[in-house]
Structure 1
């Protein structure tokens, strides 16, 4: 909500309070002021000039040479605007003037003709082109003829104002109007709120003789007021009104439309103007639309309606979507002479439905959705009729045509002084609390120390005692509420074991070079079960936002691959991402799924790139496995984890994929995605892993045991074993460890050979074994004895032979 500081002064006395000071007070009272814009900051030297002569430039087809009266002198200015003409009053930046962007105006010669200044468009004065009336959008702005030549153009355009931008939460719809903000400011400053006076001479003819109102569903539309104004002359609205609309983010159109928008800003009550003669009947019928019924709205788009949409009709066809947008068939145009002003209360849910379905988010729909004040509906219509009479020469017909079944009453809430002070930790007196409610212009009655508060309908956010406590707190001043510490036995806060392991996991993965991603938990039917660790049926949402987001995911990997694809399409081809998030597993006989936390990662492109050394290392299986081993080491699980070749995981490379086992149970997988899928996603070789973090975090971990650094030397022996090609190196390693006994401390594989010197169906695996005893120096005989046991075991259990 944009609030004009000068406009606000019409409703509440702001003397002695600057715009910045007011912004700070409003923010401290609970509504954040996101900024204060000084519209004319940095601008100077801009006056109103009168174009007394205009001649085509002798040396340029698109330029004009203008003689402009500035009040104190007449100067020559070369202007390229297509709409500049003799007799106009325009904004002129004189020599020495400063425009937005610190653009300084100097004397110049354009194609041989001297130019002493610049005739300005509103865009050149810092006003967004989207807010400029269409007739001036591509040229200079022309002032009304009654402005005084030589006076400050910034003042005439309202650019001497300051605009407060309020960041409103959805519950504070009362502040979506100048009067609503005035009530808030009046309560903060303890000053009265002045309402605009309404007095209109009405004709003898009655509005009810011209139009009849019928509402089919009072729940959707309990109150509908129609004012009829004849003899209207369509033209531009007064300059002060146009400038206020532009400052509030609304483009001026014509006097009637601008007045309805002005009332929307002033009262917070959306209005709509119909051309009576184009309406096509003498009745307005408000009803739900028929399925597949159509309407062409003011934006010239044809829209198909459903029975969930509320429409205004002439008894036969729709002329507006209630609370959202009017129809083109009844809009106010230049030849309009009689208008109907609609002021109504529409249910927020039905307006929201139409707004969402048609993608029409407007100032009006936003207010209806959040809730308008039913007490202002009638007053807003009367105020609009008065302004149309004043600025469009209209004749207001007597009374209104209306439908009224509005039953909304003010809330009455009782609360004690003790409860307010207990909840806030304050010691306010009865008179202080009563003063706060009075400043808010709530009705207050006292029964000893109990306040019986009548909340006006404009504050629909106040319904319970806690809301009154909040009002008391914010106007008492949050800064004045004493700080207190808890009383009683307390324990220092700490992370749970599970939370600590999650934090360690993030630290390890980010330390390894992966970036955290957060992806949707919702996915499509095709991707829901892709890469799932457990084969479960996916869960379908009852009301999905789209087919692409209709299922709860069983795996995180598909979403990470989508992120890689998105970045790769934008020339970011080296990525390493991880996510710790929930997957959703259907449970037999249960309505709700099990939420299980998983860790997943996806890596593609170069892992290392040292251009100076000429080194490039792409991501491979062992990079991904090394990251997991570092993680398991940090979690104390390395001795419990093993890897087993997997060939049956869909969409994974059959020769480069392994299952991850924890204490013999599969908890995840690691490997390269299938080349076919890589091609579909337009990715290079991509490696992924996913595992159940819940299983890893809840696994029993042996206490940390520290070992003394050995003082005695170790003895290493290397063996090369010839085995069948399909023999798994890890299986042989297990045999070696089991047979090596207490003296064998380390085993690692360091070579694989398959070539011309090996017979068909065989391969060579080389292992390095380290023996030592922490208490003494081993003899060769002891090592040889232990080593012989290893060789015998691998031959008997694996069929391995020592390579000659």
Structure 2
């Protein structure tokens, strides 16, 4: 809600309180202020003008040459294109050198050969939204009231020198959805009692409401209070400027004096009202009931609404004329020729109003207040005040009495609380006198006997019903900043990472050191993506009421989310992508109440890991890049069982010739390889490599203890060997055999060359290895290494029939 600082000053003395100070104080006591804006900020040299003469431009069919009195000795000539400009109007003039909205500077100039000393402005050019500009001025300039003085600043006339406080109202503080409610709140903060101006309602002496209308309510639970007053012989016209500016600053468009008064009362009291054209009701009866199936109503926005029994409607005894608490009907709206007004002030059932507003997407200022609650004590008062204003501003006469069906009894709510409870809850030592003073500031009558308070909460604070509410009120006014703060007293427990957390942290550090960046994906995805790249059979876990189909199913893999992230990067011209993710996947089996959560690790590479430079073009990633990163990572885990890679030609979504299953001992724990071209095409990717690993299995696996050793004192030795083998023999097979037969001093085997092509027999390939030997306790001698190396050579020849080159 937008609250006018100047309007608040009509109720309270804010002389020494700036809008910013007020906003800060209100935010500290429970009602957050989103922003404080001053409409005139950024504007300058905009004054009142008087259009003394207006003639058509000689060289244009839509421009006008105006002689304008701006408070100077001579008239100023301004060219204006507004269709509603006319002589005798008080208008808004931006002088040469002025600034209008958007920081646009106005200069002297010529338009079609005619000198123009400034600009005649519309409200939009002063920063007003099109939604709040009065209808009659929507297509042209705004015309000021006759009492505006030429040459004076226009801002005070339009209340643009006001400060507008934007309140963020929580549902429990709907009492602050009115100026009077905010005035009570500010009064409590500054220990002032708001002073509200009274009004005088003068009724006719010769006519009674029974002569005009009667009211019936079908269900008092739907409509606990319904009241109608009739004001006759009104004149519908433009509202006075003070009323228009109050509405515009609150974000409401002025329409005419009758409708504007109902909106003014809505803002002041928080009580929605509705004005019917009495004669267009074509009935002397108002019946409030539920709509019937098949009934329709054309609302004020010109749309026909098909009604149902979910909707409460106002009828003329036969057909609906308004959606109760939401929007009126077009057939009975106030128009320029309206003479007699039927003014409604009512209370409707909140849930029904909310459902109707949601059903028709007609959330309005009225419906939002009915949904959250209104002050039962001012329903009649607000209606009477509106009737008095209509009589004053529209020249009408209020018919004696009101047609009413009312079961509402507005009374104070009495809540008890002890001083001990207050101090125990807040950790304070507030005295009974201080608590009584706080209740007085809030406007709550209270009595205290031996530390027990009986507090009478007025109907305007319908959010207070239990002692916890009183604790909150005392805390707000006492000041949250004044409440003592203490740390909880608990036993100190040293914190540390468990084995799984250490493994995950190590994994992150290693992969980021290898050039991959961490990604975090949604755990909810589509059913199709959830079931891709699965490491085990599982049923899907789906949300009963998902936000969308794209977020309906718990994932059973990480890779599909990473591929979405990769596509997002590629689409934004980032062709080199290296990502990894560690997170939960969710498996569901028959009979399980909750899904099984399992930690996985996944990675994706595409493009290049290096940048092109003067030495050459950056190489594209391949299978061995991603396999090398994963092998290096696994080696750091110190697993007691070997991790091996086995060709896998049947992995769905992966390239059949460039994919391997990953085994820990005899157990499959993941896969690695190139995406199948069709899968890559579905994600709009080029050649892409990926892996997914069951990190939970690695965390649960046995590991060697970490043993630190010094730098070896003795030198090692190496031997190179090149082997010609059948191309079906894998590097893994050869490496395993070398390690098995290499002897106790063999510490490492590294493949450093692969060759197939010319000078190599068809069906053969050449692989070259470096074997590293080290004796940590003594210097190796040539004979020991040669003997061990010959054993390896002999085993390779006998097992795989290699030819040593």
Q: Which residue of 2 aligns with 1:144?
A: 145
Give CA deviations for 1:745-785 in whole Å, capped at 9, x if unaligned.
22233333344555555444443322212222222322233
Q: Distance in 2 between matches of 1:151 and 1:256?
A: 30
Q: Distance in 2 between matches of 1:508 and 1:390?
A: 80
Q: Distance in 2 between matches of 1:320 and 1:564?
A: 54
* SS of residue matched to 1:381: helix
1:90 Cα deviation from its structure 2 partner:
0.3
**Greater CA deviation, 401-410 or 545-554?**
401-410
Q: Distance in 1 between matches of 2:409 and 2:646?
A: 72
Give CA deviations for 1:448-478 in whole Å, capped at 9, x if unaligned.
1123334444445444444333322232222
* SS of residue matched to 1:51: strand
Give CA deviations for 1:633-687 in whole Å, capped at 9, x if unaligned.
6766697654444333332333333444456544444443332233233332344
Q: Does the C-alpha gap of structure 1 residues 22 and 629 become closer, same or farther in structure 2, counting only changes over 3 Å?
A: farther
- The residue correspondences of 1:576-595 to structure 2 (distance < 5 A) are 576-595=578-597
Q: Which residue of 1 aligns with 2:26?
A: 26
Q: Which residue of 2 aligns with 1:48?
A: 48
- The residue correspondences of 1:502-651 to structure 2 (distance < 5 A) are 517-565=519-567, 568-569=570-571, 571=573, 573-610=575-612, 615-625=617-627, 628=630, 641-651=643-653
Q: Does the C-alpha gap of structure 1 residues 60 and 742 become closer, same or farther in structure 2, counting only changes over 3 Å?
A: farther
Q: Which residue of 1 aligns with 2:92?
A: 91
1:619 Cα deviation from its structure 2 partner:
4.8
Give CA deviations for 1:177-202 in whole Å, capped at 9, x if unaligned.
22222122111101112335343223
* SS of residue matched to 2:155: helix
Q: Distance in 2 between matches of 1:402 and 1:621?
A: 83
Q: Does the C-alpha gap of structure 1 residues 660 and 114 become closer, same or farther in structure 2, counting only changes over 3 Å?
A: same
Q: Does the C-alpha gap of structure 1 residues 708 and 120 become closer, same or farther in structure 2, counting only changes over 3 Å?
A: same
Q: Does the C-alpha gap of structure 1 residues 597 and 414 become closer, same or farther in structure 2, counting only changes over 3 Å?
A: farther
* SS of residue matched to 2:23: helix
Question: In 2, are the aligned partners of 1:29 and 1:477 still within 8 Å (CA)?
Answer: yes
Is 1:656 aligned to 2:658, yes or no? yes
Q: Which residue of 1 aligns with 2:113?
A: 112
Give CA deviations for 1:38-58 in whole Å, capped at 9, x if unaligned.
222343332211101111223
Q: Which residue of 2 aligns with 1:363?
A: 365
1:700 Cα deviation from its structure 2 partner:
5.4
| TM-score normalised by structure 2 residue count | 0.88
1:160 Cα deviation from its structure 2 partner:
0.8
Give CA deviations for 1:188-232 in whole Å, capped at 9, x if unaligned.
10111233534322343317952534344x555444444444334
Segments of 5+ residues of structure 1 without an aligned counterpart are none
Q: Which residue of 2 aligns with 1:171?
A: 172
Is 1:212 aligned to 2:215, yes or no? yes
- The residue correspondences of 1:673-692 to structure 2 (distance < 5 A) are 673-692=675-694
Q: Does the C-alpha gap of structure 1 residues 426 and 560 become closer, same or farther in structure 2, counting only changes over 3 Å?
A: same
Question: In 2, are the aligned partners of 1:213 and 1:401 still within 8 Å (CA)?
Answer: no
Question: In 2, are the aligned partners of 1:207 and 1:398 still within 8 Å (CA)?
Answer: no
Question: In 2, are the aligned partners of 1:208 and 1:399 still within 8 Å (CA)?
Answer: no
Q: Distance in 2 between matches of 1:283 and 1:407?
A: 25
Q: Distance in 2 between matches of 1:407 and 1:733?
A: 91
Q: 1:331 aligns with which of 323, 330, 333?
A: 333
Q: Does the C-alpha gap of structure 1 residues 679 and 25 become closer, same or farther in structure 2, counting only changes over 3 Å?
A: same
- The residue correspondences of 1:388-427 to structure 2 (distance < 5 A) are 388-406=390-408, 411-427=413-429
Question: In 1, are the aligned partners of 2:275 and 2:334 still within 8 Å (CA)?
Answer: yes
**Greater CA deviation, 6-15 or 737-746?**
737-746
| TM-score normalised by structure 1 residue count | 0.88
Q: Distance in 1 between matches of 2:372 and 2:633?
A: 49
Question: In 2, are the aligned partners of 1:71 and 1:149 still within 8 Å (CA)?
Answer: yes
Question: In 2, are the aligned partners of 1:719 and 1:802 still within 8 Å (CA)?
Answer: no
Question: Aligned-pair RMSD on alpha carbons?
Answer: 3.6
Q: Does the C-alpha gap of structure 1 residues 396 and 421 become closer, same or farther in structure 2, counting only changes over 3 Å?
A: same
* SS of residue matched to 1:46: strand
Q: Which residue of 1 aligns with 2:37?
A: 37
1:326 Cα deviation from its structure 2 partner:
3.8
Q: Which residue of 2 aligns with 1:744?
A: 746
Q: Which residue of 2 aligns with 1:710?
A: 712
**Greater CA deviation, 715-724 or 176-185?**
715-724
Segments of 5+ residues of structure 2 without an aligned counterpart are none
Give CA deviations for 1:573-615 in whole Å, capped at 9, x if unaligned.
5545555544433243233333445444555445444467663
Q: Which residue of 2 aligns with 1:122?
A: 123
1:362 Cα deviation from its structure 2 partner:
3.4
Q: Distance in 2 between matches of 1:674 and 1:424?
A: 64
* SS of residue matched to 1:704: coil
* SS of residue matched to 1:742: coil
**Greater CA deviation, 59-68 or 357-366?**
357-366
* SS of residue matched to 1:154: coil
Question: In 2, are the aligned partners of 1:72 and 1:150 still within 8 Å (CA)?
Answer: yes
Q: Does the C-alpha gap of structure 1 residues 558 and 50 become closer, same or farther in structure 2, counting only changes over 3 Å?
A: same
1:411 Cα deviation from its structure 2 partner:
5.0
Give CA deviations for 1:517-559 in whole Å, capped at 9, x if unaligned.
5544433333332333332211333333444443333334434
1:69 Cα deviation from its structure 2 partner:
1.6
1:247 Cα deviation from its structure 2 partner:
1.7
1:629 Cα deviation from its structure 2 partner:
5.3
* SS of residue matched to 2:164: strand
1:5 Cα deviation from its structure 2 partner:
0.8
Q: Distance in 2 between matches of 1:117 and 1:100?
A: 15
Q: Distance in 1 between matches of 2:797 and 2:465?
A: 83
Q: Distance in 1 between matches of 2:372 and 2:559?
A: 40
**Greater CA deviation, 166-175 or 563-572?**
563-572
Question: In 2, are the aligned partners of 1:282 and 1:314 still within 8 Å (CA)?
Answer: yes
Q: Distance in 2 between matches of 1:506 and 1:383?
A: 69
Q: Does the C-alpha gap of structure 1 residues 614 and 271 become closer, same or farther in structure 2, counting only changes over 3 Å?
A: farther
Q: Distance in 1 between matches of 2:381 and 2:743?
A: 95
- The residue correspondences of 1:127-276 to structure 2 (distance < 5 A) are 127-203=128-204, 204-206=207-209, 209-216=212-219, 219-276=221-278
Question: In 2, are the aligned partners of 1:215 and 1:403 still within 8 Å (CA)?
Answer: no
1:153 Cα deviation from its structure 2 partner:
1.0
Question: In 2, are the aligned partners of 1:208 and 1:401 still within 8 Å (CA)?
Answer: no
* SS of residue matched to 1:148: coil
1:626 Cα deviation from its structure 2 partner:
5.3
**Greater CA deviation, 313-322 or 679-688?**
313-322
Count of aligned pairs between the two proteins: 802
Q: Which structure has the larger Rg over C-alpha atoms? A: 2
Give CA deviations for 1:701-742 in whole Å, capped at 9, x if unaligned.
554322212232222233344555444433443343344343
Q: Which residue of 2 aligns with 1:387?
A: 389
Q: Distance in 2 between matches of 1:574 and 1:354?
A: 53
Question: In 2, are the aligned partners of 1:208 and 1:400 still within 8 Å (CA)?
Answer: no
Q: Distance in 2 between matches of 1:623 and 1:410?
A: 77
Is 1:66 aligned to 2:66, yes or no? yes
Q: Distance in 1 between matches of 2:574 and 2:290?
A: 51
Q: Does the C-alpha gap of structure 1 residues 494 and 305 become closer, same or farther in structure 2, counting only changes over 3 Å?
A: farther
Q: Does the C-alpha gap of structure 1 residues 404 and 529 become closer, same or farther in structure 2, counting only changes over 3 Å?
A: farther
Q: Distance in 2 between matches of 1:500 and 1:392?
A: 78
